């Protein structure tokens, strides 16, 4: 997790994301890149200079944001930090994804609005599309996560090859914080698995990762989202990873569950594509 991208919309949520990213990069001497996007349907990057001159309002807003951004981030990122700032014009999720690909980003940490938040509709638009199409894991937060939050976290998935591929992608973060990992299978009426089978599946899942402290859990609940929240509440866990993109393998762990977790809880949710 050497290069971390943080979208900034000047909300308390994006400040929480920046604080969280700072904790991550401080552990491994990584780099933070902040990106702020001036919303527009115009693909600014493709316009020649003479065409850009026809949109003075956008150019003015871009310059104002470039002036404001350093002050916004100053209290979180010390002067000696490896820190970059980018201000783009365009469709927010497209610009975020473009920069993530161009800069070889390892992790996106993004602020998530939720619990009834309507203005901006962040969960249903920008965040959803970033999670769906990002080339790297995406960590959505409402509250800043401190170092303790990373020392143990849950990883909720079904234990198949796709889930295992996603699991591999959280290990660099676990290694940095020397985290204990709580493998979680939520046993639901719609997807019932016997204790013997789930224990065997999880034991197989953890093979080859003996250098990590891995705990195995089966939690019974009516659906995956309630089970994940209940398990994390019971075990005082503030960070949960979810394997997304497994739609063909298990309807219970598709991206809708991830979004619901973000919207209905204050957990940090790490979305990892299989």
Helix (H) or strand (E) holding 222: none
156 lies in the same domain as 119: no
Retrieve residue 106's tokens: 């390892």
Together in a domain, 135 and 213: no
Domain count, the chain: 2
What CATH number corresponds to the domain at position 246? 3.40.50.620
What is the rounded CA–CA span in Å between residue 233 and residue 225?
12
User: Is the domain of 168 the same as that of 239?
Assistant: yes
Domain termination site, one of 100, 119, 141: 141
The answer to whether 169 touches 272, Cβ cutoff 8 Å, is: yes
Return d(Cα 170, Cα 64) in angstroms, integer.
37
Closest CA to 140 of 237, 2, 7, 254: 7
17: three-class secondary structure by DSSP: helix
> What is the per-residue pLDDT for 137?
94
Q: How high is the pLDDT of residue 1?
A: 73
Same domain, 105 and 224: no
Could you say which of 141, 165, 195 is where a domain stops? Answer: 141
| Domain end marker among 141, 164, 198 | 141
Task: Tell me: do 133 and 171 sit in the same domain.
Answer: no
Residue found by looking up tokens 């999670």 in the block = 131
**Residue whose C-alpha is closest to residue 140's, from 249, 244, 28, 247:** 244
> Are both 105 and 230 inside the same structural domain?
no
Backbone torsions φ then ψ of 36, nearest 5 degrees = -120, 135
Q: Are residues 254 and 217 in the same domain?
A: yes
Q: Examine the domain organization and report whether 120 and 225 are in the same domain.
A: no
Q: Which residues contact 105 (CB under 8 A, 6 or more apart)?
A: 3, 4, 5, 33, 99, 135, 136
pLDDT confidence of residue 132: 86
Residues 8 and 62 grouped into a single domain: yes
Domain identity same for 40 and 131 = yes
48 and 126 inside one domain: yes
**DSSP annotation of 126:** I
Residue 3's CB is within 10 A of a number of other CB atoms, namely 18
**What domain range includes position 181?**
147-273
Residues 254, 244: contact at Cβ < 8 Å? yes
Distance (Å, rounded) from C-alpha 64 to C-alpha 227? Answer: 45
pLDDT in tens, the chain (274 residues): 789 999 998 888 999 999 999 999 988 888 999 999 999 999 898 899 999 999 999 999 999 999 988 888 877 766 566 788 999 999 999 999 999 999 999 999 999 874 444 444 444 478 888 988 999 999 999 999 998 999 999 999 887 788 888 888 899 999 999 999 999 999 888 888 888 888 888 888 778 888 899 999 999 999 889 999 999 999 999 999 998 764 434 444 445 788 888 888 999 999 998 7
Task: Report angle CA 124, 126, 132 to the nearest 5 degrees.
Answer: 85
Q: 231 and 151: one domain?
A: yes
Residue 215: what are its φ and ψ, rounded to 5°? -105, 145
């Amino acid at each position: 997790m050497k290069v971390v991208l943080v979208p900034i919309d000047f909300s308390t949520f994006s400040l929480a994301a920046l604080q969280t990213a700072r904790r991550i990069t401080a552990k491994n001497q990584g780099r933070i890149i902040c990106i702020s996007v001036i919303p527009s349907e115009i693909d600014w990057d493709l316009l020649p200079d003479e065409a850009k001159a026809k949109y003075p309002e956008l150019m003015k807003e871009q310059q104002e944001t470039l002036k404001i951004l350093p002050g916004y981030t100053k209290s979180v990122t010390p002067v000696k930090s490896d820190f970059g700032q980018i201000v783009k014009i365009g469709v927010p999720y497209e610009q975020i994804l473009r920069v993530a690909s161009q800069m070889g980003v390892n992790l996106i940490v993004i602020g998530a609005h939720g619990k009834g938040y309507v203005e901006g509709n962040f969960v249903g638009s920008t965040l959803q599309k970033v999670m769906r199409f990002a080339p790297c894991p995406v960590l959505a937060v409402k509250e800043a996560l401190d170092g303790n939050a990373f020392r143990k976290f849950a990883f909720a998935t079904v234990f198949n090859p796709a889930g295992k591929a996603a699991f591999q992608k959280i290990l660099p973060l676990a290694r940095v914080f020397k985290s204990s990992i709580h493998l979680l299978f939520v046993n639901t009426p719609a997807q019932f698995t016997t204790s013997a089978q789930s224990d065997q599946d999880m034991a197989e899942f953890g093979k080859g990762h003996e250098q990590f402290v891995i705990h195995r859990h089966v939690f019974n609940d009516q659906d995956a989202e309630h089970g994940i929240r209940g398990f994390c509440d019971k075990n005082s866990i503030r960070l949960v990873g979810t394997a997304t993109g497994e739609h063909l393998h298990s309807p219970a762990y598709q991206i809708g569950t991830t979004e619901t977790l973000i919207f209905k809880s204050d957990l940090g949710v790490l979305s990892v594509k299989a």
